[in-house]
Amino acid sequence: MPSHHSIFSHPGVIYVQLSGVISDTEILKVGNRVLEDPAYSKDYLAIWDFSQVEVMDIPMGGISNIVEFERRNRGVLGTEKRALVFKGMKHMVLFRLFSALRTGQRESRSFFTLSSACNWLQIDEAMIRQNSEN
């Protein structure tokens, strides 16, 4: 299972967990699934958890595709805060490159632990962990 998402209406959080080998195509697929989910709200906070990803197979053109996805969907993505969780610096470098290329209103920060991301977003980590394991 390379990716799945959960949406918690209370307190208003989207949690996306990715694992294994991830491509830009997979990131775009899960992004579309989140936007199409009836529980989605552009006002929700978001956590994209890449900590179980072994390989990020994303070429420069793939980064451009992700940036273009954000640009095209700017009106429905909202302005919520977004935390990204990585297990190491090599994956975080990709986030830094993506951040440099993107334009948008969302505040994004990267973290090495889910706990740090939850603290920044001021949400209960136990709720995320319990519901993401089901």
pLDDT in tens, 59-81: 888 888 888 888 888 777 766 78
Split at pLDDT 50, 70, 90, the class of 36 is: very high
pLDDT of residue 113: 93
Max Cα distance, the chain (Å): 37
- Return mean pLDDT, the chain: 84
pLDDT of residue 100: 58
Distance CA 1, CA 24 (A): 16
Candidate from 41-50, 57-66, 73-82, 121-130 with smallest mean pLDDT: 73-82
Domains of the chain with bracketed CATH: 3-132 (3.30.750.24)
With a threshold of 0.85, does the pTM exceed it? yes
DSSP 44: S
DSSP string, 81-133: -EEEE-SSHHHHHHHHHHHHH---S--EEEESSHHHHHHHHT--HHHHHHHHT
Beta strand 45-57 with 13-23: parallel, antiparallel or unpaired? parallel
Whether residue 116 has pLDDT greater than 80: yes
Token pair recorded at residue 2: 């390379």
pLDDT of residue 26: 93
DSSP 79: S
